[in-house]
Structure 1
């Protein structure tokens, strides 16, 4: 080994050792934010760190690029807060300490990246930071509604409905059920959400189109349900019925054919054929 290389190697090892000491001396172990939250709710921001004997100069919380909380243990009072444009959240100063911050009254503006930054005292002012993302949801103020179910339909006619969940952010996820079973995906019609230009809230809409087949009838009608959900914060449903213009006695026989009940010893397929013939006779006389 060249004698000139020895000092360089020693210098490299010294720098590496110093770097490792700094990392061990101060590092963040956890950053956590409550998510998702509904508008108006709150929770705890948590930033945990290990200082390994180093003195902490300051701990700061940022929303995006804006600092809104600072804990400086050497100052009195140690906790300070700073305004953020739009007032996306409120800090409970009395309940907050070190890296644990209580917030409440969040708005949609609180959605985004939160960053915790911890700095050591002089002379190096070593700084560590980590981030977590929060999602804030504006929940609908009304239950989902089904439109188009108030009409009486003829057999084999197409039934056209839509379900809407008004004014939320993000738009609600909608699901249709027909006779308590998930609607056939081929029956669904997807529409883009409608945005309110004043509030930015969106109305979700889902269409449903299917042929009114006798097998779907239960005592002359079909049960329709629509559910609306947003994360684990919101779940509502509404129900409606689609009625068919079928003679009373014929509708009873259709019900039996649909459920596989009726005459003993006759399979459902054969019985359905018999019922179809009877319906044809009734409708032609």
Structure 2
């Protein structure tokens, strides 16, 4: 009798525990759902970061962080360069703005607030990743973070220069040109064009590019006589002006674009030969009547010259005999 009562009591307790566990699980799940709903309805959302892709060295750069708190209150905005915090805005503090000492960073306090921070006189060392972290106030303290990359560009001090080996080329001539620009960061890119058409590297069109940080950027262009691009221009000479416009375009991201141009004449003239006149193999000018001006040097005249020579020799011999 007691054994049966004990079993029934244990079963009832087990059922109660299962019910309690189910109720606890439902309560926990409800809390999570409610918390998510409250957070989505009234918390931090739509965090976006705006950082310049590139900025010229020495200029100012403004970094912006846009967000929507809806009915929540802002707790803090923090800015990081890499892993180092350099700017913090906490509106509830007596001094809302706090700047940390990070090498190379100079914050413009007058132009920095809860949504943006301005850096003065940026240097090459400030190329890297920037992060904006926003936290809402109690009770949730929800926090979100976004990051973006900024490139600090050092422009070359001198204008790009192009040199060509020949300003007039024939149908069978090799063509060589070079384009260079001073040191920059990052190194410049050089692209070649003929009459506005980009020149690509092929077995007949060799292009080299030497670009190293801290050194001038150099590119050369070598085109073989029978390359498709040159042959096309030579074939078009009867219809168009016999010259081409060679261009080298120097660019650094979207911050620097320079174009150097040179007109190259195309010649259909046959290969140059040396005139026999220059070698002394022909007589001088002809007379107006068409007779050669070297008529005095005919065979008869040459014989007369020989007779004169014999006569002079005889005279000389006679004179010696008389002596």
TM-score in terms of structure 1 length: 0.73
Question: How far apart are the structure 1 equivalents of 2:49 and 2:185?
Answer: 25
Segment of structure 1 superposing worse, 186-195 or 212-221: 212-221
**Structure-to-structure mapping, 1:20-59, within 5 angstroms:** 20-23=37-40, 24-59=42-77
The structure with the greater share of residues assigned to helix is 2
Match of 1:65 in 2: 83
Structure 2 gaps of 5+ residues are 1-14, 276-323
**Structure-to-structure mapping, 1:123-162, within 5 angstroms:** 125-149=141-165, 156-162=172-178
1:234 CA drift (Å): 0.9
1:151 CA drift (Å): 7.5
Question: How far apart are the structure 2 equivalents of 1:219 and 1:128?
Answer: 64
Structure 1 gaps of 5+ residues are 197-201, 245-250, 255-275
1:127 CA drift (Å): 2.1
Task: Give the conservation status (yes or no) of the 8 Å contact 1:38–1:139.
Answer: yes
Q: Alignment partner for residue 5 of structure 1, among 16, 22, 26?
A: 22
Question: How far apart are the structure 1 equivalents of 2:95 and 2:212?
Answer: 48
1:46 CA drift (Å): 1.3
Between structure 1 and structure 2, the one with the greater Rg is: 2
Match of 2:306 in 1: none
Task: Give the conservation status (yes or no) of the 8 Å contact 1:28–1:47.
Answer: no
1:22 CA drift (Å): 3.3
1:241 CA drift (Å): 4.8
Larger RCO, structures 1/2 (Cα 8 Å, 6+ apart): 1
Q: Alignment partner for residue 164 of structure 1, among 164, 169, 180?
A: 180
Answering whether residue 35 of structure 2 is matched by residue 18 of structure 1, we say yes
Secondary structure of 2:111 counterpart: strand
1:235 CA drift (Å): 0.8
Task: Give the conservation status (yes or no) of the 8 Å contact 1:57–1:120.
Answer: yes
Match of 2:97 in 1: 79
The structure with the greater share of residues assigned to strand is 1
Question: How far apart are the structure 2 equivalents of 1:98 and 1:179?
Answer: 52
Match of 1:204 in 2: 217
Task: Give the conservation status (yes or no) of the 8 Å contact 2:112–2:118.
Answer: yes
Question: How far apart are the structure 2 equivalents of 1:205 and 1:188?
Answer: 14
* Residue 100 to residue 243, structure 1, CA distance change in 2 (3 Å): same
Q: Alignment partner for residue 98 of structure 1, among 110, 114, 117?
A: 114
1:69 CA drift (Å): 0.9
Match of 1:225 in 2: 247
1:188 CA drift (Å): 3.6
1:152 CA drift (Å): 7.0
* Residue 43 to residue 194, structure 1, CA distance change in 2 (3 Å): closer
Aligned Cα root-mean-square deviation (Å): 3.1
Question: How far apart are the structure 2 equivalents of 1:49 and 1:181?
Answer: 46
* Residue 195 to residue 132, structure 1, CA distance change in 2 (3 Å): closer
Answering whether residue 263 of structure 2 is matched by residue 238 of structure 1, we say no
* Residue 194 to residue 152, structure 1, CA distance change in 2 (3 Å): farther
How many residue pairs get aligned? The number is 246
1:25 CA drift (Å): 1.6
Task: Give the conservation status (yes or no) of the 8 Å contact 1:28–1:129.
Answer: no
